[in-house]
Amino acid sequence: MKSKIEQYKNYLINQAKSNNTISSYVSDLNHFFTLHDEISRDSIIRYKEDINGLSSSSINRKLSAIKSFNEFLLMLGLIDSIKIIKRDFIKIQSGGNPTNITELQVSDFLDKVSNKYSLHRDRNIAIVFLIAHTGIRREEITNLKIRNLDIEKGELKLIGKGDKERTVLLNDIAINVIKDYLKIREKYKFANSQYIFLSERSKKLDKSTINYIFNSYGNCKVGVHSLRHNWATSTQEQGILTLPELQDQLGHSSISTSGKYTHARKENIKKKINNLRIGL
């Protein structure tokens, strides 16, 4: 089965699936086949018992990986039908808005980034403020190229999930921090690199360096993904973008994915619930 999983991995690569998706699907398949020899109704039922202790979302992800591989085997004529059926998956109530940080926490974090001394202060400010004011992903930051930046128009062209190109619009704050960084970028060892953000050791910033930058400010709650969530939620709370506009800026394939940001933050719901008085 290992050869078929490797063949399936190449198939996913050709389908322009993200590296994270490919990695998790292959890992889930390897886990399944350490416990079972084949995909069948019986093995699926027994596997659900094997992973019963996991969260519903983790179970559904593993089943999705098996179903996708099942479909691949069916396409090759190596299996006669789809063995996973709809009722195998666990129905999960919408988790609502995924934003788990407050505007005050974001404001405090950005103040720290602005004021703390760092050898790469201007670069770090540009990275953090760009994420905070556009909601772009960590991997998209590392892949930004000079040729895709139009400062005059305030636009960034980038390649997102599934190798989909989109244009992200920049506000004045994002433009200014990028300008400040570009003034000192020429002093970097690899200033001739095609990538916007550099390190002293490489022509391209690694994703782990982005994590290190965020962790260096001592606030584990505010990360790349939480800033992305906060930006998306803030555009809805302040009536800045329509839902289709938000979908375009975030690079979501489905508008329903963007729609979760129209729900109130959990923190705001808690405040309202705390003000509720019944029978008192």
- Residue 114 clears pLDDT 80, i.e. is over it: yes
Q: Report the CATH fold assignment for 2-88.
A: DNA polymerase; domain 1 (1.10.150)
- Residue 9 clears pLDDT 70, i.e. is over it: yes
Residue 84 and residue 43 in contact, taking contact as beta carbons nearer than 8 Å? no
Whole-model pTM: value is 0.71
The amino acid at 230: N
CATH class of segment(s) 103-265: mainly alpha
Calculate the average pLDDT of the chain. Answer: 90
- Are both 2-88 and 103-265 of the same fold? no
**pLDDT of res. 94:** 65
Q: At what angle do helices 19-35 and 2-14 cross, to 10 degrees?
A: 160
Q: Would you name the residues annotated as active-site residues?
A: 137, 161, 225, 228, 252, 261
Query: How many C-beta neighbours within 10 Å does residue 241 have?
Result: 19
- Residue 231 clears pLDDT 70, i.e. is over it: yes
**SS3 call for 137:** coil
Instruction: For the chain, give every domain's residue range.
Output: 2-88, 103-265
Taking only the tens place, the pLDDT of each residue in 74-105 is 999 999 999 999 999 998 766 688 888 989 99
Residue 166 and residue 158 in contact, taking contact as beta carbons nearer than 8 Å? yes
Q: What are phi and psi of 190, to 5 degrees?
A: -105, 40
